[in-house]
Structure 1
Amino acid sequence: MNDGMNDSVNDSTDNDLTLSRRRLLGTVSAASATGIALGAAGGALGHATAQGDTPTALTTVGTSAIGFHGTRQPGITDPQQAHGHLLAFDLAPGAGRKEAAALLRRWSKTAEQLMAGKVPTDDTGIALDAGPASLTVTFGFGASFFDRTKLTSQRPAALAPLPEFSNDALDPKRSNGDLWLQIGADDALVAFHALRALQRESGDTARIRWQMNGFNRAPGATAKPMTARNLMGQIDGTNNPKESDEDFAERIFVPRDGDPTWMRNGSYAVVRRIRMLLDDWDQQSLAAQEKAIGRRKSDGAPLSGGTETTPLDLAKRGKDGQLAIAVDAHARISAPETNGGAAMLRRPYSYHDGFLPDGAPDAGLLFIAWQADPLKGFVPVQRKLDRGDALSRFIRHETSALFAVPGGAGEGEYVGQRLLES
């Protein structure tokens, strides 16, 4: 897993404005819940009232809303949700730039309504009684999209195919794609509702190439907020870049004067399905697992000492003279200080797709990494991991994709408009 299961940023003014517009936190009171629902014409509580029922106040998990419009798209720096769907579409034969623009217009309108807790026209009614539950929808373009729409002159150089890695066992049918959607919400029904609504909107213009479903811990499941824990039991994402870092925007987002112009304030998402060989992993002793990672399993602290957030001491040795963090430990190999500062913002989901014929769980990580340039973020880190990561014995990279995710849509715009109407 790239940039560490633990170790894997926007102009501050723009970021503050974006977040303040996006994060509209509700309260548990009936008055607040009613206010939010009534503000969303045809919303859940409006529906209940029309049926003559007494409205029930939504919890803060249900009422929390994130705005669709902004300098950057939602679903990148927003808090990780409990449920996620990743989908790639290919444009249908005969569909080109005009049809793609119409599709993105429809998708953007629907995403805006759903994220606000509103009910779109001809809605299925799947989530009539639910609030927005921190729903986000994020859109991206694959390299092949530019061929299909005859926009090859606008294809970013950073969207060049990722190199092959020796540990890859990729399924091409579940990799790449013309268009990409990332859906996240803190309620499973809300997430599925968005998935279904957007899939229906694709009509005859685009066909699903692949879809993956993921999950994380639900809000309130732990006594205090903490870094995510993956299916290997490891705390995952400790060394993610922080929005407070001076170089956060430089590492994660295309600058406001970047090229091509339609990608300004956008980012590049590397998406990989990484199956964990959990039966093999679980047979390892705790000490062996911690040595492979370079961190304690209980709290994520580095084996060189301290707490989870203590910087790695890569030179520290134990009483036996051996390095506290082994030379092939995942934390050491993926650390920015050993990769020329290369870093990316990891925002993954865990997944479980049943069991394989041999009885092993088909489970692992839906790895999503954001960066301003994959050649400076994902690629150098993965190359190093490919050469000698102790964790590589226990994982398999089975699918891979790279998408250009443009900046956010302004009021009255749809995502990708600056590209498709250029």
Structure 2
Amino acid sequence: MTDTSKHPTKNGARTTPPPAADAAAGGVSRRRLLGTAWAAGAGGLVVCAAGGAGAYAATRPAAPTPLTRLGAEAVPFHGTHQAGIATPLQAAGHLAAFDLAPGAGRAQAVALLRRWTACAAALTEGRPAPDHDTGVALDAGPCSLTVTFGFGHSFFDRTGLVKQRPVQLDPLPAFSSDHLDPARSNGDLWIQVGADDALVAFHALRALQKAAGATARVRWQMSGFNRSPGATAHPMTMRNLMGQIDGTGNPQQSAPRFDEQVFVPAKPASDGTTPAGPAWMANGSYAVVRRIRMLLDDWEKLSVDAQEKVIGRRKSDGAPLTGGTERTAMNLTKTGPDGKLVIPADAHARIAQPSANGGAAMLRRAFSYQDGIGADGTPDAGLLFVAWQADPLTGFVPVQRKLDRGDALSAFIRHEASGLFAVPGGAAEGEYVGQRLLES
């Protein structure tokens, strides 16, 4: 996933609220009093409330230190697109799928999406969750929290909306590297949570789980991580657990075709559909989710030179083996003194690049994961792969089919879980996520 912190997104940009924005007279909540520094002036917490809150502030030995910029950043929940797609990658994330409870249908799904929307809107602003907040994130600001919602293939059967199901949600084809666990794949509903603070991310996941009530149960849940912002001397593309820079080939937000590749067009055709689904998917995107286990013991036996040949890029900086920097185009015809291709024919980067796949592109926004170490010392670790595209039939599927036929990396990875979800456009103020589908 390419680091996009230099390029704020159109609808997922992180914003830092101005100091003292929430110091309204008599209206400081306990959570904001204790920790929400973006509601404070530069010299300390501004409290206008009388009584206990004022006494508490007055008895503190020194003016509180405002939160760092990391904690103060907020990503708007409402917008044209859902946040968490083109938003800069966060340090902590959770992916979870839910199944509607037996007997639950469209009416129950509407009520659930209303609750989830209200909960997510509050949390992304740094406010407590509605209905008995746990206080887990009491001392934190928004920390770039995003919550993204999607619908699986089975959701449309459960809610009587089969006619509104996009053909893009047809099950993905089988691939030779698949060793899929059905219990950790698919689902009626899908949530992606991301934040730059692990407690904030967990708090959001827990609040959403509780808000599901008896309407939906968790089918599967996976947690991941990335480097924290500021951990490197300058913003850079993420590294995965193989130590490789991962996401160089992502479409850049500054590119003319970025929206076309990632988001479903907003303008419907004369028959009420878009090129990538029904009209309710306008401004949405499709998420392919894969739990990819990395066979790290085998990988780490390779020399750095051998690892670089598998990928087709230098491990140190992500530049192609043919030279230059990370963003330099690969010279696919260049040969070495031995007459062999410098970038091998089965190198992952060669096979996966858009120019080798008819321009097919997807925005990869992954998290690494580590789920323990086995009795034999083998780590259960790898990548929570999330790929965003306007149409998975022209994005993920053709690229994965080609990788399946001859990617050198396939010997060192195993796809253990999979899901495909339709993620509708963002909710406007006063709307709930998915309203255009559920009320169609």
Structure 1 CA distance for aligned equivalents of residues 70 and 384 of structure 2: 23
8 A contact 1:36–1:63 mirrored in 2: no
Alignment-derived partner of residue 132 in structure 1:
142
Q: 2:73 aligns with which of 64, 79, 83?
A: 64
Against the structure 1 CA distance between its residues 387 and 38, is the aligned structure 2 distance closer, same or farther, given a 3 Å change threshold?
farther
> Structure 1 pair 407/355, CA: closer, same or farther in 2 (3 Å)?
same
Partner of 1:11: none
Q: Residue 335 of structure 1 is aligned with which of 330, 340, 353?
A: 353
1:114 aligned onto 2:123: yes
Q: Work out the percentage of aligned pairs sharing the same amino acid.
A: 67
Within-5 A mapping of 1:359-374: 359-374=377-392
Query: Residue 181 of structure 2 corresponds to which residue in structure 1?
Result: 171
1:75 aligns to 2:75 (yes or no): no
Does 2:390 match 1:380? no
Q: 1:35 aligns with which of 21, 37, 55?
A: 21
Q: Partner letter of residue 435 of structure 2?
A: Q
Once structures 1 and 2 are overlaid, which stretch shifts more, 411-420 or 45-54?
45-54
Residue 411 of structure 2, aligned match among 375, 385, 393: 393
Determine the C-alpha separation between the residues in 2 that align with 1:339 and 1:88. Answer: 30
Aligned-partner Cα distance in 2 for 1:37–1:168: 54
Shift of 1:265: 0.3
Correspondence 1:351-362 to 2 at 5 A: 351-362=369-380
Count of aligned pairs between the two proteins: 403
- 2:213 match: 203
Q: Does 1:281 align with 2:299?
A: yes
TM-score relative to the length of structure 2? 0.89
**SS of equivalent residue, structure 1 residue 279:** helix
Residue 85 of structure 2 contacts residue 388 of structure 2 at CA under 8 Å; is this kept in 1? yes
Shift of 1:247: 1.2
Change (3 A) 1:41 1:308: same
Shift of 1:120: 2.6
Alignment partner, residue 44 of structure 1 = 31
Amino acid at match of 2:410: S
Unaligned runs of 5+ in 2: 3-8, 36-46, 48-52, 268-273
Displacement of 1:45 in angstroms is: 3.5
Which residue in the other structure is 2:15 paired with? 24
Q: CA deviation at 1:251?
A: 1.1
Aligned to 2:41: none
Structure 1 spans left out of the alignment, 5+ residues: 7-14
TM-score (ref. length: structure 1)? 0.92
Partner Cα separation in structure 2 for residue 42 and residue 168 of structure 1? 49
Show the 5 A alignment for 1:202-281: 202-257=212-267, 258=274, 259-281=277-299
Point out the structure with max Rg over C-alpha. 2
**How far apart are 1:37 and its partner, in Å?**
7.1
Q: What is the letter of the counterpart of residue 150 of structure 2? A: G
Matched AA of 2:126: G
1:184 equivalent to 2:171? Answer: no
Distance 2:65 2:205 in 1: 26
Against the structure 1 CA distance between its residues 112 and 238, is the aligned structure 2 distance closer, same or farther, given a 3 Å change threshold?
A: same
Give the letter for the 2:102 counterpart: P
Cα deviation, residue 42, structure 1? 2.1
Residue 350 (1) aligns with residue 368 (2): yes
Q: Which has the higher contact order (CA 8 A, sep 6+)?
A: 1
